[in-house]
Amino acid sequence: MGSELIYRGHDAQPMPDTYSPKPDKPWLPVARAMRYLLREQRLVFVLVGIAIATLLFTVFPGSPSTHSGYGSGQYEPIPGAHMAHYNSFNRFESEHALYQQRAGFGSVSGKVPLGLKRKGLRIVVTGGAGFVGSHLVDRLITRGDSVIVVDNFFTGRKENVMHHFGNPRFELIRHDVVEPLLLEVDQIYHLACPASPVHYKFNPVKTIKTNVVGTLNMLGLAKRVGARFLLTSTSEVYGDPLQHPQVETYWGNVNPIGVRSCYDEGKRTAETLTMDYHRGAGVEVRIARIFNTYGPRMCIDDGRVVSNFVAQALRKEPMTVYGDGKQTRSFQYVSDLVEGLMRLMEGEHVGPFNLGNPGEFTMLELAEVVKETIDPNAKIEFKPNTEDDPHKRKPDITRAKELLGWEPKVPLRKGLPLMVSDFRQRIFGDHKEGVASGSSSS
């Protein structure tokens, strides 16, 4: 029997010519959201979180006196003993406009809102127990900042910062910057390094390690915590200059293998590292080139000309002049330098900046000023000059005047008596203690 194909046309269903999707259910998004919340008890967790937050805000309400600017929930009146410190803050509010946003005000323009006081910064000062560092610490503490002093006491003295002991905004760490240090700070003033020939020639390898490795460690800290870094370089980067006066664009005339090169080249390398971190890692940096500075708390026998002359004249010894005494130096009082460092740190310019007094004196002229101040009958003794001693040194501070609004205010004849008073107290105080101890032992 043959197979037959039977076509049943009447059983075929007509196919629609176009596709029409099913209409959306109006409550589908709501249903999906409810299923998501109900699944795995998510709704329970949301309700518990709301309850906890409500309880916390009820038990610990925010204080309305947030105008103190210190983030505490309660405003405390300032004790009368510290009113002088807080009154002095107002002088620096305009200078710190750049840091108001950083200090927690959140203002793009950096201005302090009405009714708010400036919040202190957390600042580390390496070498802060030394001559310049201790005066800088005084100013920062008075301004209301929290200061951490890092010093290994090679040339620094605890007596220079002892008056801050007990202040909750002051900390002292005995530490060598050649070793890494981990801190959380807003600013770093890097002053650590022996600055007088007697001290930096004592251990030249240690001196250049402090300048290079110590600066690397502090720059690394600044990079890690986002702190602004200020390097205190020196006029010694100009060496025995062939340009007079010295401007910041002058590259210098330095002996790279001399007895002073551990300090001169060490500081030049520190400047190089600072700029490399600025260009390569985006670290905010400032560079100051410090010229001869004098004032209270200088080391008495550190070999620098001002301290030498003053100590020798007080002890009735001949003042030692090396060479013919016609070498020139420029001398700035320490308070002028501290003002310049703070303005540089708070400004917008990297530098380098010369910070010094352009008033120029020969060594013989300086000796005459010391004689007028201490003893008109003081004698002068000439000795052969030391190796690589610069013949002239005078800063051009035009750039600091224009960009920082800074220039020294204290002339030599006004600042020197203040230093003499400090030296007289320390020299004769130590002498009397020595005589008393000697007589008791005998």
Three-state SS letters, 237-270? HHECCCCCCECCCCCCECCCCCCCHHHHHHHHHH
Q: Which tokens sit at 385? A: 């000059």
- Assess contact for 135 and 147: CB atoms under 8 A: no
What's residue 66's pLDDT?
41
Residue 95, pLDDT above cutoff 60: no
Residue in 263, 277, 294, 333 annotated catalytic = 263
Confidence bin at 6 (pLDDT 50/70/90): low
316: number of CA atoms within 13 Å, CB side? 1
What distance in Å separates the CA atoms of residue 329 and residue 337, rounded to the nearest whole number?
A: 16
- Assess contact for 201 and 259: CB atoms under 8 A: yes
- What percent of the chain shows pLDDT beyond 70? 76
Q: Which tokens sit at 194? A: 């022996």
Q: Which tokens sit at 77? A: 């009146």
Element (H, E) at 330: strand 328-330
Q: What is the mean pLDDT of residues 380-396?
A: 83
Helix, strand or coil, per DSSP, at residue 130: coil
Confidence bin at 21 (pLDDT 50/70/90): low
- Assess contact for 209 and 178: CB atoms under 8 A: yes
Domain 83-102+118-295+332-358+392-411: assigned CATH number: 3.40.50.720
How would you write 1-50 as a 3-class SS string? CCCCCCCCHHHCCCCCCCCCCCCCCCCHHHHHHHHHHHHHHHHHHHHHHH
What's residue 428's pLDDT?
87
Residue 96, pLDDT above cutoff 60: no
Q: What is the mean pLDDT of the chain?
A: 81
What distance in Å separates the CA atoms of residue 442 and residue 439, rounded to the nearest whole number?
A: 5
Confidence bin at 46 (pLDDT 50/70/90): confident
Q: Residue 64 carries which DSSP code?
A: S
Residue 379, pLDDT above cutoff 50: yes
- Assess contact for 154 and 196: CB atoms under 8 A: no
Helix, strand or coil, per DSSP, at residue 183: coil
Element (H, E) at 103: none
Confidence bin at 424 (pLDDT 50/70/90): very high
Tens of pLDDT, residue by residue over 134-159, are 999 999 999 999 999 999 999 999 99
Indicate yes or no: pTM above 0.75: no
What distance in Å separates the CA atoms of residue 155 and residue 148, rounded to the nearest whole number?
A: 18
* Identity of residue 147: V
Q: How many residues are present in the chain?
A: 442
* Identity of residue 80: G
| Residue 358 C-alpha from the chain's centroid | 24
Q: Tokens 């310019």 map to which residue?
A: 349
Confidence bin at 442 (pLDDT 50/70/90): very low
Expressed in angstroms, the distance from the first to the final Cα of the chain is: 150
| CA distances in angstroms from 317 to 345, 364, 426, listed in the order given | 41, 16, 17
Tens of pLDDT, residue by residue over 53-93, are 888 888 876 544 444 343 443 434 444 444 444 444 444 44
101: number of CA atoms within 13 Å, CB side? 6
Residues whose CB is less than 8 angstroms from the CB of residue 302 and which lie 6 or more positions away in sequence, other chains included: 155, 196, 198, 199
Helix, strand or coil, per DSSP, at residue 234: strand
What's residue 322's pLDDT?
87
What's residue 5's pLDDT?
54
Tens of pLDDT, residue by residue over 292-343, are 999 999 988 888 889 999 999 999 999 988 888 888 888 999 999 999 999 9
Whether 263 is a known active-site residue: answer yes
Residue 363, pLDDT above cutoff 70: yes
- Rg, the chain, Cα only: 34
Residue 210, pLDDT above cutoff 60: yes
Q: What is the mean pLDDT of residues 407-426?
A: 92
Confidence bin at 351 (pLDDT 50/70/90): confident
